[in-house]
Amino acid sequence: MKFILGVEFYIINSNHNFNSKVLLLTELTDYIGRDKAKNEPCMRIDLITVLPEILRGPFDNSILKRAHEKGLLEVVIHNLRDYTTYKHKQVDDYQFGGGAGMVMMIEPIARCIEQLKSQRDYDHVIYMSPDGQLLNQPIANKLSMSKNLIILCGHYKGVDQRVRDHYITLEISIGNYVLSGGELPAAVLVDAIGRLIPGVLNDESSALFDSFQDDILAPPVYTRPEDFNGLKVPQIMLSGDEKKISQWRHDRAEERTAERRPDLLG
């Protein structure tokens, strides 16, 4: 079972300074042009899951739908049950040594990963796990520079440790809590990567000024009307003075970070 969509590729800079707001457009153009000449996507993400139905919805709406229409990233969803040899499509079993919870077996996971790796090279094989590295903006920025990724969605009590020891190159968590499976975290990761890519957002510079790109939160934003029941937009935002507006935004961003996320300020 497969599901395919598309996104453009994103490069920050040649020094891998992921907090920089400098786009190397020449390098980006060369990268995209090379693969377009081959009629290949610039990036591919393979998702391995026991619940493929959960992953279809997030990729068919809003920003990721726009990414799909670009046709520059291929996201392929693999049903892990297609890779088991058991009659009833079993992919889990009881733990050795006893204990509550079923464990995802190594055999179908290894079969799927090895088949994919026989067809192309992958930058990372990622396992979505609550005890993985906490996802942040620099990680998303770095992964958006990848050519091909595999994301394994955990389920049940987790996966056989031998999978993590021998196949996984990066483990990622989206927070200090436990969900029923890795599908939603995988969708979060793909969204975090996909929205960075030029052409996905209407204004490509928008992602460069998101919260966390400079280790601070984003400043307040306003739109019409200027006055809603006495609640007015700050006058400086209507001044047209770009330098003063930029400084105001920076100051408000630092204030907000100090108040809400002082840990980011070191």
Digit-coded pLDDT (tens) for 80-134: 999 999 989 999 999 999 999 999 999 999 999 999 999 999 999 999 999 999 9
Distances from the Cα of 177 to the Cα of 129, 134, 173, 200, 204, angstroms: 10, 11, 9, 30, 33
Residue 65's pLDDT band, with cuts at 50, 70 and 90, is: low
Distances from the Cα of 71 to the Cα of 4, 7, 74, 75, 93, angstroms: 9, 6, 7, 10, 39
Check pLDDT > 70 for residue 21. no
User: Residue 134: its pLDDT value, please?
Assistant: 97
Fold type of domain 215-265: Trp Operon Repressor; Chain A (1.10.1270)
Residue 150's pLDDT band, with cuts at 50, 70 and 90, is: very high
**For residue 212, what are its two tokens?**
């966390």
Task: Say whether 118 sits in a helix, a strand or coil.
Answer: coil
Q: What is the mean pLDDT of residues 248-253?
A: 94
Residue 246: exposure state from Cβ atoms within 10 A (0-12, 13-18, ≥19): exposed
Q: Name the residue ranges covered by the structural domains of the chain.
A: 25-203, 215-265
User: Residue 36: its pLDDT value, please?
Assistant: 47
User: Residue 7: its pLDDT value, please?
Assistant: 34
User: For 41-45, 194-198, 218-222, which range has the lowest pLDDT when averaged over its residues?
Assistant: 194-198
Of 111, 108, 116, 181, nearest to 148 (Cα)? 116
Preceding peptide of 138 cis, ω within 30° = no
Residue 22's pLDDT band, with cuts at 50, 70 and 90, is: very low
**pTM, whole model, 2 decimals?**
0.80
Distances from the Cα of 3 to the Cα of 40, 67, 76, 196, 200, angstroms: 16, 14, 5, 21, 19
CB 167 within 8 A of CB 113: yes
Give the pairing of strands 170-173 and 227-228.
unpaired
Of 93, 98, 104, 95, nearest to 128 (Cα)? 104
User: Residue 80: its pLDDT value, please?
Assistant: 98
Check pLDDT > 60 for residue 28. no
User: For 51-65, 148-162, 241-255, which range has the lowest pLDDT when averaged over its residues?
Assistant: 51-65
Considering the domain 25-203 in this protein, what is its CATH number?
A: 3.40.1280.10
Residue 67's pLDDT band, with cuts at 50, 70 and 90, is: low
Check pLDDT > 50 for residue 176. yes
